[in-house]
């Protein structure tokens, strides 16, 4: 397994190691998975090619890193103003998303499984306060995927960097701002040391899925039993990674604000209006790439329309009303 993460990085790197260990243990060693962190065998952005050509058998990474292979890969990580985690899982498992993902990754000889999710992410770290959409003009901002394309439309100079290179770029001034995941990972990277403004919510990644992409030929060589075990280990860690981020982000955010003086800010309305308009344009354009991209986009947007009605009267409505609870101060 080759990964996009530093070794034992909280949440994501730990999840990758747990998945490798669980597959090895659950198959009684018939399938033994050895993990290589980013840069140990191949660089973070080259894990897809390593699995496609079978230098490795599994990658652990967000698929939007590979939208240069096909722009529709971004739909299987994060879509600006798109599905939250529960909705994404519903689309993949019960809304036709997995079949479309299989078709897309299959073009490159890869079998994809959802193997983690960070949940809704933060908007990003900035050296200077953002008071209007004009403040985004000319910023050098690390942002991958469709979110990066949205920011380009708003005049941002977008930079693509793997996780392990972000802090140094922010510290040196090579970038002015960055988004990554959320408090758990951002605290570990120490972004607060060089940027004090921390914005929310993250329009760019309302859900951020992590893929275990397996070389199709290697997967086909496994017994049916071991194929099911591998799949179920991925499904289990898909839940486990999300649970870990949910469990730990709140405390990490408290540490950032109360111990490190981070200034938590909500994006101004006009900034979010800009994000929303540009997001719809980017999503629409990706669907024009080819027939498969169109089918993926249309399926995703149908899921967003169908699922949000329930989300709004269930989770969203309840969590809004939960503020009435006494004793939670």
Q: What is the pLDDT along the chain (329 residues), one digit of tens a residue?
A: 999 999 889 999 999 999 999 999 999 999 999 999 999 999 999 999 999 999 999 999 999 999 999 999 999 999 999 999 999 999 999 999 999 999 999 999 999 999 999 999 999 999 999 999 999 999 999 999 999 999 999 999 999 999 999 999 999 999 999 999 999 999 999 999 999 999 999 999 999 999 999 999 999 999 999 999 999 999 999 999 999 999 999 999 999 999 999 999 999 999 999 999 999 999 999 999 999 999 999 999 999 999 999 999 999 999 999 988 866 65
What is the token pair recorded at 62?
């967000």
Residue 27 lies in a domain: yes
Q: How far apart are CA 265 and CA 187, in angstroms?
A: 17
Rounded Cα gap, residues 299 and 43, in angstroms: 33
Cβ atoms of 179 and 121 within 8 Å: the answer is yes
The verdict on residue 265 lying in a domain is no
| pLDDT recorded at residue 325 | 82
Task: Show the tokens assigned to 61.
Answer: 């990474």
Asked if the structure places residue 234 within a domain, the reply is: yes
Query: What distance in Å separates the CA atoms of residue 187 and residue 232, rounded to the nearest whole number?
Result: 31
* N- to C-terminal Cα separation, the chain: 44
- Could you tell me if residue 192 is inside a domain? no
Structural domain that includes position 39: 2-118+206-247
Q: Beta strands 110-117 and 209-215: pairing type?
A: antiparallel
Task: Give the strands of the sheet with 209-215, arranged side by side.
Answer: 2-3, 58-61, 209-215, 110-117
The DSSP symbol for 122 reads P
Query: Total domain count for the chain?
Result: 1
Paired tokens of 125: 């770290």
Distance CA 115, CA 41 (A): 21
- Domain assignment of residue 114, yes or no: yes
Determine how many CB atoms are found less than 10 A away from the CB of residue 99.
12
Q: What is the pTM of this model?
A: 0.95
In a domain, 51, yes or no: yes
At a CB cut-off of 8 Å and minimum separation 6, what does 237 contact? Answer: 15, 18, 19, 22, 115, 116
Strand-pairing partners, residue 125, are 178, 198
Identify the CATH number of the domain in which residue 72 sits.
3.40.190.170
What pLDDT shows up at residue 327?
64
Contact 196, 261 (CB under 8 A): yes
| Count of beta carbons in the 10 Å neighbourhood of residue 173 | 10
Quote the pLDDT of residue 323: 87
| 166 falls within a domain | no
Spatial distance between the Cα atoms of 118 and 65, rounded to a whole number of angstroms:
16
Residue 290 falls within a domain, yes or no? no
């Amino acid at each position: 397994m080759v990964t996009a993460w530093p070794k034992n990085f909280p949440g994501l790197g730990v999840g990758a190691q747990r998945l490798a260990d669980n597959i090895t243990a659950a198959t009684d060693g018939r399938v033994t998975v050895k993990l290589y962190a980013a840069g140990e065998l191949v660089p973070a952005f080259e894990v897809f090619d390593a699995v496609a050509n079978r230098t490795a058998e599994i990658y652990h990474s967000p698929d939007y890193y590979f939208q240069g292979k096909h722009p529709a890969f971004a739909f299987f990580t994060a879509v600006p103003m798109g599905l939250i985690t529960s909705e994404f899982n519903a689309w993949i498992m019960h809304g036709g998303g997995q079949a479309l993902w299989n078709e897309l990754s299959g073009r490159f000889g890869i079998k994809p499984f959802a193997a983690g999710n960070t949940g809704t992410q933060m908007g990003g770290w900035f050296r200077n306060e953002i008071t209007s959409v004009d403040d985004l003009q000319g910023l050098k901002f690390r942002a991958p995927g469709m979110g990066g394309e949205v920011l380009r439309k708003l005049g941002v100079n977008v930079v693509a960097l793997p996780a392990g290179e972000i802090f140094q770029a922010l510290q040196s001034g090579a970038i002015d701002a960055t988004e990554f995941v959320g408090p758990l990972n951002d605290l570990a990277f120490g972004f607060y040391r060089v940027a004090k403004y921390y914005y929310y919510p993250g329009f760019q990644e309302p859900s951020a899925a992590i893929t275990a992409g397996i070389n199709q030929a290697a997967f086909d060589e496994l017994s049916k039993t071991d194929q099911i075990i591998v799949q179920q280990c991925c499904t289990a860690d898909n839940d486990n990674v999300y649970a870990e981020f949910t469990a730990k982000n709140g405390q990490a955010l408290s540490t950032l604000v109360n111990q490190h003086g981070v200034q938590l800010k909500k994006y101004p309305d006009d900034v979010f209006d800009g994000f929303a308009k540009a997001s719809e344009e980017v999503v629409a354009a990706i669907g024009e790439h080819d027939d498969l991209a169109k089918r993926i986009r249309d399926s995703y947007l149908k899921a967003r329309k169908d699922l949000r009605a329930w989300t709004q009267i269930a989770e969203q409505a309840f969590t809004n009303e939960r503020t009435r609870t006494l004793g939670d101060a």
